Amino acid sequence: MEILNEIRSLEVGEVRENIDLREYTTYHAGGHATGLVIPKDIDSLITLLKYVRENHIKHKILGRGSNVVFGDRDYEGILIQLDNFNDLELKGNEVRVGAGYSLIKLAIRLSRLGYTGLEFAAGIPGSVGGAVFMNAGAYKSDMGYIVKSVKVLTPDYRIKELTNYDMHFHYRTSFLQQNPSYVCLETTLILKRGDPDTILQLIEDRKKRRVESQPLEYPSAGSVFRNPEGDFAGRLIEELGYKGYSIGDAAVSEKHANFIINKGNAKGDDIKKLILEIQSKVKEKYGIELKIEQEFVE
């Protein structure tokens, strides 16, 4: 394809063609994408972004596909993964880590080294950049509690350091979510020191509880809706009788009603349809507008 050949000529990094989105999303659903590019470094990323923006080519930064729902029609554009942005540097209680680093891998590695504060992330299957973007969290903690600063690429291609205050972290949102033209390059975390055995035991205990209460045996993207203040999305959905309800192979989990699972060959369009139907029914019955945590990409 001409666009991909042009990108290859820029020598910005690895270029993959005709991507099957089922292999790049935790839902294992969606059509195909024109191409995927893995930039070598920041300069390559800037070159790539300038090219796609100046040529009005549809594009998206894709982490580990853990919070997106692609439709079944092909994504006629370029996906960008920051897998090479994976540096890790430890300095006292500060941890500098690239946006492409696996969040689960980081949490386990730091826990084994006796760092505490990231235990909540040991079961969140995303990239560090995606976690910062979403202000990912669990167990009454989130990235906003531990991020000191975030290095970003601005829309005019400057590299800028944003403080925790600048990031406007709130429940499952951040400055980056409100300003998607900014790209997270790396973040600096502040953690505390603790006993590795105690930290790892807490992670193991939580893992056992997740296995019992969440449908980890099926492809999913974690919690579909944010919990409304003072209540739980799963409770509202369960009360509506939606546990086990399905559209095609997209189904509401029997274990946890705030999870939608792929029972085998779910269509991205069916997952979206199910999410929107549940949102509509909850609004109709309870007058509550559930906020969707996942992003629909067409």
Same domain, 74 and 115: no
Task: Clarify whether 14 is annotated catalytic.
Answer: no
| Structure confidence by residue, pLDDT tens digits, 142-158 | 999 999 999 999 999 99
Domain CATH code at residue 43: 3.30.43.10
pTM for the predicted model, two decimal places: 0.94
**What pLDDT sits at residue 179?**
97
Could you tell me the pLDDT band of residue 104, with boundaries at 50, 70 and 90? very high
Query: What six digits make up the tokens of 115?
Result: 């760092």
Please check whether residue 205 lies inside any domain of the structure. no
**Which residue in the list 66, 127, 174, 223 is annotated as catalytic?**
223
What is the overall mean pLDDT for the chain?
Answer: 97
SS3 223: strand
Active site residue 223: yes
Q: Are 66 and 126 in contact (CB under 8 A)?
A: yes
Q: Which two tokens stand for residue 215?
A: 């449908």
Q: 55 forms bridges with which residues in the sheet?
A: none
In a domain, 109, yes or no: yes
**Known catalytic residue at 246:** no
Beta strands 75-80; 32-39: pairing state: parallel
**Same domain, residue pair 172 and 100:** yes
Task: State the alpha helices, DSSP H only, in 113-195.
Answer: 128-134, 175-178
What digits encode the pLDDT tens for the residues 92-101?
999 999 999 9
Do 15 and 50 have their domain in common? yes
Residue 157 lies in a domain: yes
C-alpha to C-alpha distances, 193 to 107, 131, 142, 181, 199, nearest whole angstrom = 13, 22, 18, 35, 10
If asked whether residues 231 and 290 sit together in one domain, one would say yes
Write the DSSP assignment of 255-289 as a string of letters.
S-TTEEEE-SS--HHHHHHHHHHHHHHHHHHH---
CATH no. for residue 235? 3.90.78.10
**Same domain, yes or no, for 168 and 184?**
yes
Count structural domains, the chain.
3
C-alpha span between 97 and 90 (Å, rounded): 9
Asked if residue 106 and residue 136 are part of one domain, the reply reads yes
- Considering the candidates 172, 174, 186, 220, report the single residue annotated as catalytic: 172
- Are residues 73 and 135 both part of a single domain? no
> Which of these three, 41, 64, 80, is where a domain ends?
80
Q: Could you report the per-residue pLDDT of 8-23, keeping only the tens digit for each?
A: 999 999 999 999 999 9
Say yes or no: 104 and 179 in one domain: yes
**Mean pLDDT throughout 163-190?**
96
Looking at residue 241, its pLDDT comes to 97
Q: Is 206 domain-assigned?
A: no
pLDDT at site 156: 97
Both 179 and 145 in one domain: the answer is yes
pLDDT interval class at 218 (50, 70, 90): very high
Q: How confident is the model at residue 67 (pLDDT cuts 50, 70, 90)?
A: very high
pLDDT at 225 over 80: yes
Task: At 165, list the tokens.
Answer: 């205050």
> Considering the domain boundaries, does residue 202 fall inside one?
no
- The token pair that represents 297 in the structure block: 């990409």
For 158, the domain range is: 88-196
| Structure confidence at residue 243 (pLDDT) | 97
pLDDT band at 1 (very low <50, low <70, confident <90, very high): confident
> pLDDT tens for residues 233-291?
999 999 999 999 999 999 999 999 999 999 999 999 999 999 999 999 999 999 999 99
Q: Would you say how long the chain is, in residues? A: 298
Domain of 141: which CATH number? Answer: 3.30.465.10
Q: Does residue 276 form part of some domain?
A: yes
Is 204 inside a domain boundary? no
| Same domain, residue pair 112 and 63 | no
Residues 33 and 101 in one domain: no
**Co-location of 154 and 99 in the same domain:** yes
